[in-house]
Amino acid sequence: MPTPISHAAVGFAIAAWTQQAPPTRRVCLVAAACAALPDIDVIVSPLHLAETSLFAHRAITHSLTFALLAAAVATLIFFRGPEWTQRRARIAVILGLALVSHACFDALSRYSWGVEFFAPFSLQRFRFVWTPLGDSSSLAGQLVQEAIVVLLPAILVGWLGFKIRRRGLSPKAASA
């Protein structure tokens, strides 16, 4: 935690606001998937791995290296057609941001291990100085806190971005 759903909502919001207007659903959905992707380590790596392992939780899949590679691969897979040529570079950056947002939100949490931002070059784990997530002692409390602090704001911001930017709000209409 934060849960994959919260991460995905953050990725969706990033894409809704940063892609070329009008935002497309495809970029938002792929960014959402990218933002949730780093937690694939929970599924593919045995949980008994030591904290210092490259394949443990919050290790290689949460690194900047992985973000770079995964963004490039996802862009090539999902935005291959000629209709994306003009926007492809920007989309790759957006997907990279979505991936990095995952590690950053994890680094804001107090529970579990820190994040190996620089794997595989360094296995040092980091947490931000400010760790507002995970204050509650119970899992239910943690989920409620996360829903209020991360999930609901991200859904709202993402939905607003998608709606407003899709409508192509002109400066005239915005000031009215």
Contact stretch for Zn ion (CB under 5 A) within 38-46, 63-71, 124-132, 146-154: 38-46
CA triplet 160, 75, 79: central angle to 5 degrees? Answer: 80
Residue 116 touching Zn ion (CB under 5 A): no
DSSP state of 64: H
| 19 versus 61: smaller Cβ distance to Zn ion | 61
Please tell me the distance from the alpha carbon of residue 114 to that of residue 58, in angstroms, as a whole number.
7
Options 19, 106, 133, 162; binder of Zn ion; rule CB under 5 A: 106
Tokens of 106: 């994890």
Please tell me the distance from the alpha carbon of residue 115 to that of residue 101, in angstroms, as a whole number.
12
Q: How many CB atoms lie within 10 A of CB 18?
A: 18
Options 8, 30, 34, 39; binder of Zn ion; rule CB under 5 A: 39
| 106 versus 146: smaller Cβ distance to Zn ion | 106
Q: How far is the CB of 62 from Zn ion (least distance, A)?
A: 6
| 38 versus 161: smaller Cβ distance to Zn ion | 38
Tokens of 21: 């207007």
Q: How far is the CB of 4 from Zn ion (least distance, A)?
A: 8
Tokens of 160: 């607003």
| 92 versus 107: smaller Cβ distance to Zn ion | 107
Q: Which residues bind Zn ion (CB under 5 A)?
A: 38-39, 106
